[in-house]
């Protein structure tokens, strides 16, 4: 799994919206300034997240963008999958399972990739935007949670 620059920008923008979740719609200009992101690129990212129903846009003088759901209900995996695709180092979990079944010579390698994918997916699916902006848990407890999830596999 590789998170692109676009993926990082999307996560940073979502974090900004989460920090200001109780303030209503936030203008793109303010999100860009607060997150130190290029405004034009941010527009494209927010449009993609709007189409995926992660954010809403509000028109008018008090318009802008806001989260559609509470930050505690948005796992990091939703944003990463939307922007960057599957969480696996190569393809998705089904593709890896297919390679494991078909390619006996390289089965062990694909099994490792699948384990990496599964561990990363568990952490990203169980860590919400609220967790990383402090609305849910401290940074230290987010790391502890990630370690506990990884150990359960």
Q: How far is CA 138 from CA 16, 130, 132, 134, 149, in A?
A: 17, 10, 7, 5, 17
What are the residues whose beta carbons fall under 8 Å from the beta carbon of 95, sequence distance 6 or more? 86, 88
Domain interval for residue 9: 5-152
pLDDT band at 13, cuts 50/70/90? very high
Beta carbons within 10 angstroms of residue 118's beta carbon: 16
- Total domains in the fold of the chain: 1
| pLDDT reported for residue 41 | 94
Pick from 84, 39, 67, 88: which is nearest to 133 by CA? 67
pTM for the full model?
A: 0.79
pLDDT digits (tens, 9 = 90+) for 82-116: 999 877 666 678 888 898 999 989 999 999 988 98
**CATH classification of the domain holding 78:** 1.10.10.10
pLDDT over 70 at 136, yes or no = no
Residue 132 Cα to chain centre, angstroms: 11
Mean pLDDT of 44-53: 96
């Amino acid at each position: 799994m590789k998170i692109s620059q676009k993926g990082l920008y999307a996560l940073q923008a979502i974090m900004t919206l989460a920090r200001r979740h109780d303030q209503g719609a936030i203008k793109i200009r303010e999100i860009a300034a607060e997150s130190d992101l290029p405004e034009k690129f941010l527009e494209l990212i927010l449009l993609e997240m709007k189409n995926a129903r992660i954010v809403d846009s509000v028109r008018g003088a008090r318009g802008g963008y806001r989260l559609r759901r509470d930050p505690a209900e948005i796992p990091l995996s939703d944003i990463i999958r939307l922007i960057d695709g599957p969480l696996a180092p190569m393809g998705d979990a089904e593709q890896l399972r297919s390679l494991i079944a078909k390619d006996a010579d390289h089965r062990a390698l694909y099994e490792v990739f699948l384990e990496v994918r599964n561990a990363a997916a568990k952490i990203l699916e169980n860590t919400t935007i609220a967790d990383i902006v402090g609305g849910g848990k401290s940074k230290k407890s987010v790391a502890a949670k990630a370690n506990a999830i990884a150990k359960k596999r």
